[in-house]
Chain A
């Protein structure tokens, strides 16, 4: 009779009993990663290899011609593609800073202060976790045009600054990660809220702040939506929008150019996530809704 063994979650070392899980997971991971490997190879294939039959997964004679093609095609819009890259970078940085700023302030107040509508605010925010932003595209359009944000730099940033999930994650982490006594003694020493936040709150919930920074970066860096809907000035548009445009106009080279351009968007996301993954996991461990 096979003896049932207690599950060892988060085991210290490898054991034979883990092999069955490893095999299944490796299969799943193959399905998950193959498309990515494929697109990476596609981006470095010369034109003739893109049209091999049958198509090959791996590139034989890697070339960067798909990337240089990006620069050449760019002239059709009258702006160098670096401009779109720069726009995307500036927008992402401003957005991430903005998100951190407003979310840290609000999470600190809700987590550590006592005030009248605190419970209500947090409950409303919790309800808003269910909010599907794309569902309210129509009223959003009306609000944005009413506020005069149309065709401005800020239209990328302001409408999506308040994200319920980020506030939720940060507040949960502040509840567990910052002892009230520290803040009390800081207050007794005469520090004001801003000093308390900078000196005590931020250092203590750094991983959580890093996590919302990454999530915010991912969402803004990938988004070309605002450029498509709210902008007419070419000089304010972002990289994903531009790369989407290119894919439509690249003709026979479209496959390679598309692969190259999506790689440019994807790689920064991946690198940042890999660098920060342990902090993200730390933060997500406190993501339970109580």
Chain B
């Protein structure tokens, strides 16, 4: 009896020793691996050399312009005289004096950005989701077709849709409608204020399925199938529930990435109406967005301070949208 007690005490001491030894050993290897770590790390100088080229260009052509915009937006600047500080006068003017800005630019930018940004984003998800239901071969072909228009640059988009919506009888849409007897005389689609914004939105959507779309599609095709089966057993009843509770939570990161791509894409496409109608401002300001309005002030009227104020508003606009997306999709730590 006592013998076994001693044995037990001995055993536990040995175990403690072993335990202590393993701890020490672990510590040692840890230290060693930390040492190895500085091994891959190399010198601080080496790291600096790796990061520097990108960081420098990033700083000069992204960070500095954003801050310069913010500073210039507080000045009156006509590109010739030195900028004169005017405080927040440009912002006050924007929201109280600039009739076009309040009447056309803000509502149209919102409409355009919401339909092409979040709208295009939802469409991207739906199309990608349907594509993911198909086997690989046919999926690749169809995905390629959906992606193709986003490969077309601004010039190409202009060429295609200008001839499709051309105002004479040789315009494709006019010819079709006239043939069907729906209209009698050709309609000048692209210079008619009534249609220009809708057409621009359509064209922007057409070319909006870019890398954000590919990101969603690629994530959908790599989801864990077992989770779907588990959810099915747990009582998920339909496709909608499945999408909300199983599919999307698994790919939040990609949904967030794609959301940012959608909104920046939509805001960058703000001059599409100018390309289509061939004039800035667009006919009767009917499709004037904040980007086009900014270009108008910057490069036609030479009011660079005021234009900068608009670029600040534009960037804030994107930031607000992205914040909303981050609320929806960002992983909580």
Contact = CB atoms under 8 A, between A and B. Distances in A.
Interface of A: 4, 6-14, 18, 21-22, 24-26, 28-29, 31-33, 35-36, 38-39, 42, 50-51, 53-55, 101-103, 105-106, 108-110, 112-115, 121, 125, 128-140, 142-143, 147, 158-162, 164-165, 167, 180, 183-184, 187-188, 192-193, 215, 218, 221-224, 240, 243-244, 247, 255, 258-259, 261-262, 265-266, 269-270, 273-274, 277-278, 280-285, 287-290
Q: Give 5 closest A-B pairs by Cβ, nearest first.
A: A288-B253, A222-B153, A106-B54, A139-B68, A162-B57
Contact of B65 (A35, A112, A143, A158): A143
A184 B170 contact: no
Contacts, number: 319
Contacts of B257: 129, 287-289
B331 interface: yes
A25 B141 CA distance: 11
A106 B50 contact: yes
Contacts of B307: 138
Given A9-B228, A108-B50, A33 B145 contact: yes
B68 A54 contact: no
A178 to B, nearest CB: 11
Interface of B: 36-37, 39-42, 44, 46-47, 49-51, 53-55, 57-58, 60-62, 64-66, 68-69, 72, 127, 130-136, 138, 140, 142, 144-149, 151-156, 159-161, 163-164, 169-172, 175-176, 178-179, 206, 209, 211, 214-215, 217-223, 225, 228-229, 232, 236-239, 242, 247, 251-254, 256-257, 260-261, 263-264, 267-268, 270-271, 291, 294-295, 298-299, 304, 307-308, 311, 314-315, 318-319, 322, 329-331
B53 A102 contact: yes
A285 B221 contact: yes
Nearest to B68: A139
Provide the main secondary structure of the chain A interface.
helix
B153 A282 contact: no
Contacts of B295: 137
Nearest to A273: B151
A266 B152 contact: yes
A35 B206 contact: yes
Contacts of B315: 130-132, 135-136
Given A9-B221, A36-B160, 17 more contacts: A7-B133, A7-B239, A10-B136, A10-B221, A38-B160, A110-B51, A130-B264, A130-B315, A131-B315, A139-B66, A139-B69, A143-B60, A162-B62, A221-B153, A262-B156, A282-B218, A285-B222
A289 B268 CA distance: 21
11 contacts: A7-B133, A25-B134, A36-B148, A39-B160, A102-B57, A105-B53, A115-B44, A135-B311, A183-B40, A215-B211, A240-B153
Nearest to A112: B40
B42 A193 contact: yes
B207 to A, nearest CB: 9
Nearest to B326: A289
Given A164-B58, A280-B214, A288-B219, A134 B163 contact: no
A9 B133 contact: yes
A160 to B, nearest CB: 7
B159 A247 contact: yes
B57 A277 contact: no
A6 B228 CA distance: 7
B294 to A, nearest CB: 7
A138 B298 CA distance: 7
Contacts of B211: 165, 215, 284, 287
Contact of A222 (B36, B155, B247): B155
A45 B247 CA distance: 47
A140 B175 contact: no
A193 B50 contact: yes
